Amino acid sequence: MRKNHDIYVVDGEQRIPFLRGMVTHSLVKRGLKFKEAYEIASLVRKQIEPRGEIEKGKLSQLIEQTVRNRLGDVPLTDVKPVFGHDQTIRVVDSRTESPLSKGILSQSLQASGLEPSIAYEVARDIETRLLRANRVSITRQELRELIYQTISKTQGSQYAERYLLWRKFRAPDKPIIVCFGGATGTGKSSLATEVAHRLAIRKILSTDTVRQIMRMMFSAELLPSIHHSSYEAWKDQKFLHPSKSRVIEAFEEQASKVCAGVKAMIMRSVEENISLVIDGVHLVPGLIDYEIYADRAYIVPVIITTLNRAKYRERFLQRQADAQNREADRYLANFDAILEIQDYIIEVAERYRIPIIENVNFEESVLSILSLISSTLKEKFKNMGGW
């Protein structure tokens, strides 16, 4: 499924990111309740997602049609069209000058843990205050102070502190690398993508991609373990330790091989000073020694779990209902092996003191991960004497 930042509004030669909060705010100003406006904005986004983009004029028509379909012929106040052109405020410093963008600002605010719609409201409020003050320009330092004061007053000091912290790491001396481990189906890939978006980290790597590349390079005869899914590798392995679980021994074998490729990607990220988000079942604590990168990267590992086994199984059942292929059937057929792998990953994570987050509610999980990243970075920054 596409994320907000993968959907665009085409206005002539411009492609403006579609923001659900923007549509929501426009409808609220026209008289709708927030809940109604948010639901309609979500329906509009869902209709655009398969295409990935929509012309500005057609977007307005789609919004009006969706309102009528959802609420009937309700009277709405006329306001400026969504994605219209407002008065430009310039953000300046000693070397550069650029227009203030609510979209870019709202994404920056999401790094503090604010939900996208709330982040956009804060960005809009800041812009409104500047326009009312007849400001045509503002220095970056003044803007950051204004943002800090606004967040602190409206959302709380913890969000304001996280905003300041993230600003310190926007142009780091070394990259930030967030590693999402966890068993198949825990939701780590969706969480990794969302967290990467909120932190404006553009590079995302899946360990399954690494495994796929390795499969093309090494035959099944040479490296049989990488030619099977993590939960099926045990079906085609010779085991040297009968006392070990066949599932876990085969999984360990596959994960150790894949992590060799992951280490290479981490080293490249370090050398190029490019922040990176990695997700995958193969990120088993202990297979990668993150400490060896401590002087050259800020690395934050986390394990994602689903401990309620009934809900865990429901996710695969939902995938089965939504899937266009038989992959979901394989998950259900190997559910016991997946559970065994999850139990093993949790055990190892506790041994290595890697944070574990149970993914029950998506937005709450995102906030927990952002809080974890913030606290980890703050601690590292404090150790460097900069906080």
Q: Tens digit of pLDDT for each residue in 186-206?
A: 999 999 999 998 888 889 999
Cα–Cα distance for residue pair 314/360, rounded to 1 Å: 12
pLDDT of residue 68: 87
pLDDT of residue 79: 47
pLDDT single digits (tens) 100-142: 887 778 878 888 888 887 888 888 888 888 888 888 889 988 9
* 296: pLDDT strictly greater than 50: yes
Non-local CB neighbours of 245 within 8 Å, separated by 6+ positions: 340, 344
CB 40 within 8 A of CB 87: no
* 174: pLDDT strictly greater than 70: yes
Cα–Cα distance for residue pair 269/276, rounded to 1 Å: 7
CATH number, domain 176-383, options 2.40.50.140, 3.40.50.1100, 3.40.50.300, 1.10.260.40: 3.40.50.300
Cα–Cα distance for residue pair 158/138, rounded to 1 Å: 25
CB 283 within 8 A of CB 180: yes
Helix spans in 86-187 (H):
102-110, 116-132, 140-154, 157-168
Can you tell me the mean pLDDT for 361-367? 89
Task: Identify the residue whose tokens are 């306001």.
Answer: 79
CB 339 within 8 A of CB 309: yes
State the pTM of this model: 0.68
Cα–Cα distance for residue pair 387/379, rounded to 1 Å: 9
Can you tell me the mean pLDDT for 38-64? 89
CB 112 within 8 A of CB 151: yes
